[in-house]
Amino acid sequence: MPWRYDGGVKCPECDNRATIVTERTVSDGGTKTRYVLKCSSCGHRAVLQEVLVARTGDGLRVRVIAPAGASARGMRSNTGKPKPSF
């Protein structure tokens, strides 16, 4: 079942309303930010995307990771327009 946005994100497991939260981890090597879908009804949790930022000798290195099967592109707003991916 694809992710949906109908005035709120729906859980793909139980079809109840879910939330998207961010989890950030900071270390000496850099920062990792995860965008996670969480459902308070059934407890389902899915990582939608991870963004890794690290300092290098000549600047910053940014790496975006989207786990297989996770896509925010399938979400639609209640106006029917596609929501931008993260």
Give residue 42's domain range: 9-65
Task: Please check whether residue 49 lies inside any domain of the structure.
Answer: yes
Beta-bridge mates of residue 39:
none
CATH assignment at residue 29: 2.20.25
Under the banding of pLDDT at 50, 70 and 90, the label for residue 10 is confident
Task: Please check whether residue 48 lies inside any domain of the structure.
Answer: yes
Is pTM, for the whole model, over 0.85? no
Task: Please check whether residue 4 lies inside any domain of the structure.
Answer: no
Whether 82 shows a pLDDT value over 80: the answer reads no
pLDDT tens track for 23-61? 999 988 899 999 999 999 999 998 989 999 998 889 999
Q: Which residues contact 69 (CB under 8 A, 6 or more apart)?
A: none
| Residue 31, CA distances (Å) to 8, 16, 17, 28, 45 in order | 28, 32, 29, 8, 21
Name the domain count of the chain: 1
pLDDT tens track for 13-31? 998 888 989 999 998 889 9
Residue 60 tokens, joined: 């910053």
Q: What is the dihedral of CA 16, 47, 44, 80, to 10 degrees?
A: 10
